[in-house]
Chains A and B, each alone.
Chain A
Amino acid sequence: MPNGGCDPIGGLVEPGRVHRRVYADPDVFELEMERIFGRAWLFVGHTSQVPNPGDYFTTELGRQPVVLTRHRDGAVYVLFNRCTHRGAKVVNERCGHATRMTCLYHGWSYDTDGALVGVPMPEGCAADFRKEAFGLARVPRTGEYRGFVFASLAPRGPSFEDHIGPIKSNIDDLVDRAPDGMLAFDLGMHRYIFNGNWKLQVENVLDSYHVPFGHASTVNKDGVQFARREGDKSGAKVVEADQAKTAQSWKGRRSYIVGNGHGWTSNTALDDGKRSSAAFDDYKRVLVEKVGAARAQHILTPRLHNTLIYPNVSIMGLNIHVRVIKPLAVDRTEINVYPVRLVGAPNAMNFGNLRLLNVTHSAASFVQTDDIEAFVRTQKGLRCLAPEWVDISRGLGAEEPDRELNATRGSAMHEMVVRAQYKAWVGYMRERA
């Protein structure tokens, strides 16, 4: 292990800085797969991806192929996607519908709860062979909140409630925007991939400091970004005439942390009074009809920009979507971006959101591509042996409690959220399984 000694992991993270090996050392990555992705509560998918009995959806938890299924009794299962016979991956499609999941190799077939139901030429089975012992393995623990399905590959550890509790209201913030109080993940997904460590994306979702510089190409000559929400005529003013003024205008933006590595950043300043279009006005009318004017007003008042549910999922409140971070190797990461359909909202509103997500977070988008270039360039830079440390000290010591939100807050221009992520990282990494 890096550094050796009695505390090899603790030596990689110090107050205000992390060692470059955290991003660049394949041994650290292997340990992350075991100690973080091997036991943390990970986002798997959404129940709307398997709406009907027999529906399935395949994904990976860390490097583990899993399949999310809907059984006849309505229950949702997360199963290891591996034939219990000789080991082939059973379900090869990304999603679909089947009454049985049949292995291509020798034809063993499984029910949608994982039970082994068919073995060709059963007379050849060993005398003590019991089908009941050969069902697809279930992941040790699962949990669900408002359709968001999480799983832990460890049989023991903090409960789902302990993990998700402090960040539940951020999920509510998104789900409540649907007039029917439900989301559907049925608008496809964007996939992008880059030569960089997974934590570069994790850190980026709550990094507001990079926006005025990193996304300079998305603003016009007046420093105003393109319109990113249905109903907006233009986007936020991101860059002012000079740096001092830019700093001033970003001062009000805040970040929040609530433990477990979770956190969020406050909303983008937009003129909500002027937000109007045929699609948005129609959506607003439907929402008011369903939940009443006061509640609708609350729901439509932006509070959150990005939320991170550590370690593998983020929720964006501006270009509404859910983003899943999939580490592939120490320097290779895939991201899945799910637009969310607000169930009960007019189609035109859902299309308005989709249209803009195409240009903010697809592989060919205006916003995400500059971030990807930053990730790739960072991974290249971190090959350098000197300096050994990555600085994350902005605002160190300036955190303050927010009693109303039961959180700790700091300036969004600071790096409190990154430090909180590394606190959680060390917690996972230090502890032996």
Chain B
Amino acid sequence: MMEAAVPEPKRTATPVDRAVLEAFLFEEARLLDMRRFRDWMALFSDDGTYWVPATVDQKSPYDQVSLFFDDRDLMKTRIDRLEHPRIHIQTPPSRTAHLIGNVTVDETDDAKGHYVVSSTVIMVEYRDDQQRLFAGRQVHRLRRNGDGFLIAQKRVDLINCDSAFEAMAVPI
């Protein structure tokens, strides 16, 4: 099983790296806001995971429930469903706006092409006459892939991760 814990930040990166990595996060958020879910999934490596824990400081997705813990198989099922015409929880569809800020580069390893980037995410979701807000800290573990990156893991720690949620259909 892969290591799921997020390492302590080591701030060693240069500002140039930060801008490139930040641009990648903005692009990822844009794909979600445009509901280009299949393109979003393509940002993940084949062994990539998308994880939204359900408890504060959750150590592992393997022994506690998670709001989302999708490997590529589950992610594909989720996206097939998001594209299905009879997904009732998306009738009407959600409209979202992500705001990504406070980006810090926690780890860089240029030789291996591994990067760990933390940021604050706010997502406003509007659907069926209701607007709600999600907020938290997210950590992306990225791998260099040609000129770009692949997501090995995206972890989003919502500030209210252990609360009771109304139904959620789209990724944060």
Q: Does B166 contact A (CB under 8 A)?
A: yes
Task: Tell me how many residues of B have a C-beta within 8 Å of chain A.
Answer: 32
A348-392 vs B, Cβ < 8 Å mask (1 yes, 0 no): 001100110111001110101110111001000000000000000
CB-defined A-B contacts under 8 Å, sample of 23: A187-B64, A191-B163, A191-B165, A192-B165, A193-B164, A337-B65, A347-B63, A351-B63, A354-B63, A355-B69, A358-B66, A359-B74, A362-B54, A362-B66, A363-B164, A363-B168, A364-B68, A364-B167, A364-B168, A366-B77, A369-B89, A370-B87, A372-B166
Q: Does A290 contact B (CB under 8 A)?
A: no
Given A188-B65, A216-B86, A217-B87: A363 and B165 interface contact (C-beta under 8 Å): yes
Q: Does A31 contact B (CB under 8 A)?
A: no
Q: Which of A187, A194, A362, A377 contacts B67 (CB 8 A)?
A: A362
Main secondary structure of the interface of B (DSSP, over half): loop
Q: Which of B65, B78, B88 contacts A370 (CB 8 A)?
A: B88
Q: Which of A192, A351, A355, A359 contacts B164 (CB 8 A)?
A: A192
Report the Cα distance A195→B129, complex, angstroms. Answer: 14
Report the Cα distance A339→B74, complex, angstroms. Answer: 18
Rounded to whole Å, the gap between the CB of B32 and the closest CB of chain A is: 14
Q: Is the CB of B89 within 8 A of A226?
A: no
Q: Does A218 contact B (CB under 8 A)?
A: yes
Contacts of B55 in A (CB 8 A): 188
Q: Which of A191, A216, A354 contacts B62 (CB 8 A)?
A: A354
Q: Which residue of A lies closest to B163 (CB)?
A: A191
Q: A364-B68, A364-B167 are known; give 4 further A-B pairs, CB within 8 A.
A: A191-B163, A193-B166, A216-B84, A359-B78
Q: Is the CB of A358 within 8 A of B69?
A: yes
Chain A interface residues toward B at CB < 8 A: 187-195, 214, 216-218, 220, 226, 334-335, 337, 339, 347, 350-351, 354-355, 357-359, 362-364, 366, 368-370, 372-374, 377
Q: Is the CB of A362 within 8 A of B65?
A: yes
Report the Cα distance A211→B168, complex, angstroms. Answer: 20
Given A216-B86, A358-B65, A362-B66: A373 and B167 interface contact (C-beta under 8 Å): yes
Chain B interface residues toward A at CB < 8 A: 1, 52, 54-55, 62-70, 74, 77-78, 80-81, 84, 86-89, 91, 162-169
Q: Which residue of A lies closest to B170 (CB)?
A: A364
Contacts of B84 in A (CB 8 A): 216-217
Report the Cα distance A364→B164, complex, angstroms. Answer: 11
Q: Which residue of B lies closest to A226 (CB)?
A: B77
Rounded to whole Å, the gap between the CB of A20 and the closest CB of chain B is: 22
Contacts of B67 in A (CB 8 A): 190, 358, 362-364
Q: Which residue of B lies closest to A333 (CB)?
A: B164
Q: Which of A188, A350, A369 contacts B168 (CB 8 A)?
A: A369
Q: Is the CB of A217 within 8 A of B86?
A: yes
Q: Which residue of B lies closest to A94 (CB)?
A: B162
Q: Is the CB of A217 within 8 A of B69?
A: no
Contacts of A372 in B (CB 8 A): 89, 166-167
Q: Is the CB of A190 within 8 A of B54?
A: yes
Contacts of B69 in A (CB 8 A): 355, 358
Given A216-B86, A218-B81, A370-B88: A363 and B65 interface contact (C-beta under 8 Å): no
Report the Cα distance A337→B64, complex, angstroms. Answer: 12
Q: Is the CB of A351 within 8 A of B62?
A: yes
Report the Cα distance A217→B79, complex, angstroms. Answer: 10
Q: Which residue of B lies closest to A357 (CB)?
A: B65
Contacts of A358 in B (CB 8 A): 65-69, 74
Contacts of B52 in A (CB 8 A): 364
Q: Is the CB of A363 within 8 A of B167?
A: yes
Given A217-B88, A359-B77: A364 and B64 interface contact (C-beta under 8 Å): no
Contacts of A217 in B (CB 8 A): 81, 84, 86-88
Contacts of A354 in B (CB 8 A): 62-65
Report the Cα distance A189→B64, complex, angstroms. Answer: 8
Q: Is the CB of A191 within 8 A of B164?
A: yes
Contacts of A193 in B (CB 8 A): 164-166
Rounded to whole Å, the gap between the CB of A336 and the closest CB of chain B is: 8
Q: Is the CB of B65 within 8 A of A368?
A: no
Contacts of A364 in B (CB 8 A): 52, 67-68, 165, 167-169
Contacts of A195 in B (CB 8 A): 166
Report the Cα distance A191→B158, complex, angstroms. Answer: 14
Rounded to whole Å, the gap between the CB of B166 and the closest CB of chain A is: 6
